[in-house]
C-alpha cells in the first residue's frame, strides 16, 4: 500500500481529489481504493476495517497518529511513504508524529519519497537519518532554502512598497492604496501568524471587498468554506498563514501580497509560488 502524508487538511483534500482523478482516468478506481484521513469520522471509518480495503491513504500526521493509537489503522503493509511538503513535515512541530508513523510502518521495507519546492540543508540532513541510500532528483532550478540562491520565476512580476515609516497603520494604508489602484484578484495575502490574519481580516472586512481568511484557529468547516469561495470567485482576497496555504494549488492567482515579510527565503519561494504556476 501507499501512504501520503501532508501538513494540512486542505492540502490532504486536494491531494486526495487529484489522485482520485488519476485513478478514474486510468480506469483502475475499482481496483485501487483511496481513503482520506483528516477527521474523526475518517478515523472511525478506518476502525470499521476501512484501512484494510484501502490501497492509498492520504492523511495529516496528527490525525493518523490518533488512528494508530486507537488501533484503527494497520500500517505494516505500507510499501511507499510519500511526504509532501517534506521540509515542513521535518520541522519540530511534526517530527514526533512522523517518528511514530515511521515506527508503525515497520520501516525496513518501506520506501520513503520526499517532495518539496524547497529543501534547506538542515532539513535534508535530518531526512537522511530515516532514509537508506537516498537519490536526490531536482526538477528545474536548484532546490531553494538555507543559503541557496533563489531563481525568480520569469512569469512573476515583483514589486516592493514602502509603508511610509508609520508601522502597522502605514501597512494598512499602503494595502488600501493597492485596492484603490485596482489590485487584480484573485489575491492571496500572507501574514506571519493566526493572530495577524484575524487582525487584518477585521480591519478590512468592512471595506467593501470580498475578503476572507484561512488559518488554524478557524474551524475545519470555516476553512473549507473560505477555500471553496476563493476557488469559485465569491471571495476575491484570501488572507493566509504560510502553513495554511502550503502547497494548495489555486488556479489563476493574479496577485500575492507579502503583507508580513516572510521569515526565510524558503517561505518566500512558497508564497510567490502560488502564482506563475509551473514556471
Q: Residue 196 maps to which CATH number?
A: 3.40.50.300
- pLDDT, one tens digit per residue, over 117-161 is 778 888 888 888 888 888 888 776 555 544 343 455 566 788 888
Give the chain's mean pLDDT: 84
Judge whether 143 lies within some domain: no
Domain end among 79, 103, 130: 130
Total number of domains in the chain: 2
Low-confidence ranges of the chain (pLDDT < 70): 47-52, 107, 140-155, 165, 244-245, 247, 276-279
Domain end among 130, 155, 181: 130
- pLDDT, one tens digit per residue, over 223-239 is 889 988 998 999 999 99
d(CA 48, CA 29): 21
Is 47 in the same domain as 108?
Answer: yes
Residue 148, judged by CB atoms within 10 A of its CB (0-12, 13-18, 19+), counts as middle
Is 122 in the same domain as 7?
Answer: yes
Judge whether 6 lies within some domain: yes
Q: Strands (DSSP E) along 85-241, which ranges? A: 111-115, 187-191, 211-214, 237-241
Q: Report pLDDT for 257.
A: 92
Is 112 in the same domain as 172?
Answer: no
Full domain range(s) for residue 104: 2-130
Judge whether 259 lies within some domain: yes
Domain end among 79, 101, 130: 130
Amino acid at each position: 500500500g501507499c501512504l501520503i502524508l501532508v501538513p494540512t487538511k486542505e492540502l490532504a483534500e486536494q491531494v486526495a481529489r487529484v489522485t482520485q482523478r488519476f485513478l478514474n482516468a486510468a480506469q483502475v478506481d475499482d481496483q485501487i481504493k483511496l481513503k482520506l484521513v483528516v477527521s474523526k469520522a475518517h478515523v472511525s471509518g478506518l476502525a470499521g476495517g476501512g484501512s484494510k480495503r484501502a490501497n492509498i491513504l492520504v492523511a495529516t500526521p496528527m490525525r493518523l497518529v490518533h488512528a494508530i493509537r486507537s488501533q484503527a489503522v494497520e500500517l505494516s503493509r505500507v510499501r511507499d511513504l510519500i511526504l509532501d511538503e517534506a521540509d515542513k513535515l521535518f520541522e519540530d512541530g511534526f517530527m514526533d508524529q512522523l517518528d511514530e508513523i515511521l515506527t508503525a510502518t515497520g520501516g525496513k521495507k518501506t520506501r520513503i519519497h520526499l517532495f518539496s519546492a524547497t529543501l534547506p540543508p538542515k532539513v535534508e540532513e535530518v531526512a537522511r537519518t530515516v532514509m537508506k541510500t537516498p537519490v536526490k532528483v531536482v526538477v528545474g532550478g536548484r532546490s531553494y532554502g538555507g543559503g541557496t540562491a533563489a531563481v525568480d520565476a520569469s512569469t512573476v512580476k515583483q514589486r516592493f512598497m514602502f509603508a511610509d515609516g508609520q508601522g502597522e497603520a502605514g501597512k494598512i494604508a499602503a494595502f488600501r492604496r493597492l485596492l484603490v489602484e485596482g489590485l487584480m484578484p484573485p489575491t492571496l495575502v500572507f501574514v506571519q501568524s493566526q493572530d495577524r490574519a484575524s487582525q487584518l481580516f477585521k480591519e478590512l472586512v468592512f471595506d467593501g471587498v470580498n475578503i476572507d481568511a484561512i488559518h488554524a484557529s478557524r474551524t475545519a468547516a470555516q476553512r473549507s468554506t473560505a477555500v471553496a469561495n476563493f476557488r469559485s470567485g465569491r471571495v476575491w482576497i484570501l488572507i493566509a498563514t504560510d502553513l495554511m496555504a502550503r502547497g494548495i494549488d489555486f488556479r489563476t492567482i493574479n496577485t500575492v501580497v507579502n503583507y508580513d515579510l516572510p521569515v526565510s527565503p524558503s517561505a518566500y519561494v512558497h508564497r510567490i509560488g502560488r502564482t506563475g504556476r509551473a514556471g
